[in-house]
Structure 1
């Protein structure tokens, strides 16, 4: 079922419309394309918009970890060599300025790669190999201000427990929440200075509601301002789990058929990059899509997948229609509702832009 040969974004898809139900988007297949020798990317892992409206991409290519675009897709800047496993990006306005928070997952390109192996994760000859990950706070020039490293240094992990963080969320008071989604699957809460507060989860938790499996993405749901909640993807369970900001379990939202990443809120809706469709009990290659949820946490439209079906109030398993994406990994949304999408393992392709046709969502 690997359709990678047909899924690489190409000019023949340019201008085509995807989506449904008032959430329709036209593909700009040429947005953001650059000279790959001068500005290479490995995976377009995440994107964020700064206060100037610039689109900032983080990629795990250490020739240029950051590519800065305007919304027309023109390159404004490139920098960064410090993040071989760059995986997630958050931009935040604080009292003393605007800052970037970067999550390095610990995966890095292997200088001893055999040129073939890409999924042999424990092999010393695989294309990527694991080291410890970390989180860094940077100014907008890309200078590192502080880092948060392996939790064994603060006594909450033992040295044999892997730490390969995948995402970050930041509360209004500056508290930092980190998902260790490629490591030991805990959520770790720090204060704004990086001092440990608490942790919970893990993939061997005896309490199913607290158990997290490939906890890939995290965001704070502020749609009810009186009761903000953490929304955390337990990706291998095709689910989101809701917690209070103090780590108390609230609820689970199952998304059958979808290996879901970080939710991105836009008004009362949220958009979710899906890396894989779960088909026949397996996360199938090149089967990503984007799901759009309403204020009641129901899927109202899919981009690059069959449209959602509910039977007796239950969402039926969703899957790709093999039209558009390889593996959707990160996205951001501008003021006009246009989407900018980055992908993992997508032929080293640059981000793509989906132009909002309706502008009413």
Structure 2
């Protein structure tokens, strides 16, 4: 006789995503307000080296802030400064430093690990926090456009392994996400524009009005005007949060609509040895899948040109040499493996509306690549 006991339960997750300025000014209560109340809590900060370089007073500001709010929290050790970018996800020794610190400084499940940096650092620190003691409380402080409007607000953590992006990772919700617009001031032009590709992605598949807003403000954002940038960051973050709160936040299925343009982007990053940054690769991936959608007859040439024009106005390329060849096609197969079974790719039925497909024509992909190679050599109308 077989005995089957059926278990079923649900867990509710709730965390704030805050937007502020001068986060570690003594009078700013945003950080301490997300900490557990009624006790003095232990914190450990892990900071992106690029942020420390751009803001040399940051570590001192954190220490002064902790001193000012000493009844609420304390630093259990000096902040750990780690390399930013994909380097921190490619070298296992770096996430292991964070795990080692949890042991050395007695950082437990009631402590807080605070990650400050771009999306790669947030991914890496989040992974280390998730696997230590089965999960240490995590506060994310994104410092780039890309991490403030997309990766920083989500529930995914990861490192790269076996030469594959995000091969090891977890789904773990943060305690809070704290965005300080002041961190954007020192970004170089590449990092300034990089995150806008994620806004373009979500607008194209979900919201025509948002796409038209990005289209109208592309030149202003390329000129580094802060107000339209703030607008797109908050709206993009809200759209990503709405998606996460939907039917499949932990991606048990193979449907990943917010990965529009990403199957090619992930492979392009790797093929270029991460010379092409994530947001830049996503822009090219969007261009590729939009061109593929046009070649299928789904979107018009006029609409395709609007998309490519916005991409170029923002300062992105449409083509990189690594895009050609069989290695990119291999990326499609790896993406299917990453999904865990059925291939699911988001394409464009029209501007503002995505549609999922479960197969792609490799010859049509090559044709789309050739189209973008030619298009990238034409004079830019900007």
TM range (shorter): under 0.3
Q: TM-score, normalised by structure 2?
A: 0.26
Higher percent of residues as helix: 2
| Higher RCO structure (Cα 8 Å, ≥6 apart) | 1
